[in-house]
Amino acid sequence: MKGNVDDPMSAEFGTVAEWTAHVARDLGPEYHIPAACRGSGQPAALDWLLAGLRPRPGDVLADAGAGTGGPAAYAAGHTGVRPVLAEPEHGACRAAAALFHLPVVEADATALPLGDASADVAWCLGVLCTAEGPDAQVAILRELRRIVRPARRIGLLVYLATTGQLDDPPQGNHFPACGQLTALLGGAHLEVLAVADASGLPRPSPVWRDRTAAVERELQRRFGNTAQLAAATEQSRRIARLLKSGQLTAQVLVVRGR
C-alpha cells in the first residue's frame, strides 16, 4: 500500500499502520498490543480510563478513532469488554482486523455508523485534535454521547494547547486551547466526572518499553528509507517536542451525558 506522502496523517494511520501490524505479527503475539498502542495508548492512561468507565464483562466498548486497535484489545484483555472499532483510515482498519480480529468499520468519528444507545461505554483517544475546528470537535463529542447508553460513561484523551501559537505543530492537527475544552464539552451536553494530567501517570513498564522499542527498530530497519515512515515519525517528534516544552498538555477525562 502506498500512502499519500503529502498527507502525514494518512501516511501515519494508513501505510505505516499496516507496516506496524506486519512487524508486530512477525515479532510475536506479545508485541501486538504494545505495537498497536503507539501514540495515545499508554497503559497507565488506559488503566485510569477503564477504572473511571467501570465497564462490566460483556459490555460493548465503542472506540472512535481506534487506530490499529491496541487500546481496544488492551481493554478487552483487562476487563472483558466487547470492542467495536471505528477508524477513518483504511490501513489502520486493516491492521486492527489483522492483529486482533475485532469488528472494525471505516468511519469518521463525526458520523459514527452505530445506533443510538448501542454502546455501554465508549472512548476516544487523541482524536479530538484531528478534527478541523470546534464545530467538528463538538460533533465528535455529540456522537459519543449519542451512541452510549444513558448514564453510562465516556473516556477521552485530549491534547490541549497551552499557548496561542505553537512552534512547528504537526500537520493536520487543530489543538483546542485549554480553556476551550469546557465549552466543547458543554456544546455536547457532557459533564466531567474525573480528569487527570496524563503526564503525571506512571510510565510504562520496562517490558512494555522494550517491546515498543523493538517494534520501532524493526520499522526503521525495514522502512527507514521511505517517505511515509519519515513523515509519520516527524509527526510524533513534533508532538513530543510540544509536550516537553509545555506548549501542549495531555488530559484524560471521564465524562457522561447530562
What tens digit of pLDDT does each residue of 120-179 get? Answer: 999 999 999 999 899 999 999 999 999 999 999 999 999 999 998 999 999 888 999 988
Q: Is residue 70 part of a domain?
A: yes
Q: Is residue 258 part of a domain?
A: no
Q: Is residue 1 part of a domain?
A: no
Q: Is residue 58 part of a domain?
A: yes
Structurally, how many domains does the chain consist of?
A: 1
Q: Which residue ranges in the chain fall short of pLDDT 50?
A: 1-4
Tens digits of residue pLDDT in 63-79: 999 999 999 999 999 99
Q: Is residue 31 part of a domain?
A: yes
Q: What is the span of the domain harbouring residue 236? A: 8-107+114-253
Neighbours of 29 (CB within 10 A): 9
Q: Rg of the chain over CA atoms, in angstroms?
A: 17
Q: Is residue 30 part of a domain?
A: yes
What per-residue confidence (pLDDT) applies to 5? 52
Percent of the chain with pLDDT over 90: 86
Neighbours of 222 (CB within 10 A): 14
Neighbours of 86 (CB within 10 A): 25
Q: Is residue 3 part of a domain?
A: no
Q: Is the pTM of this model over 0.75?
A: yes
What per-residue confidence (pLDDT) applies to 243? 94
3-state secondary structure the chain: CCCCCCCHHHHHHHHHHHHHHHHHHHHCHHHHHHHHCCCCCCHHHHHHHHHHHCCCCCCEEEEECCCCCHHHHHHHHHHCCEEEEEECCHHHHHHHHHHHCCCEEECCCCCCCCCCCCECEEEEECCHHHCCCHHHHHHHHHHHHHHECCCCEEEEEEEEECCCCCCCCCCCCCCCEHHHHHHHHHHCCEEEEEEEEHHHCCCCCHHHHHHHHHHHHHHHHHHCCCHHHHHHHHHHHHHHHHHHHCCEEEEEEEEEEC
Q: Is residue 50 part of a domain?
A: yes
Cell output for 208: 512494555
- Identify the CA nearest to 126 among candidates 216, 41, 23: 41
What per-residue confidence (pLDDT) applies to 7? 77
- Identify the CA nearest to 78 among candidates 101, 45, 55, 104: 55
CATH number, domain of 176, equals: 3.40.50.150
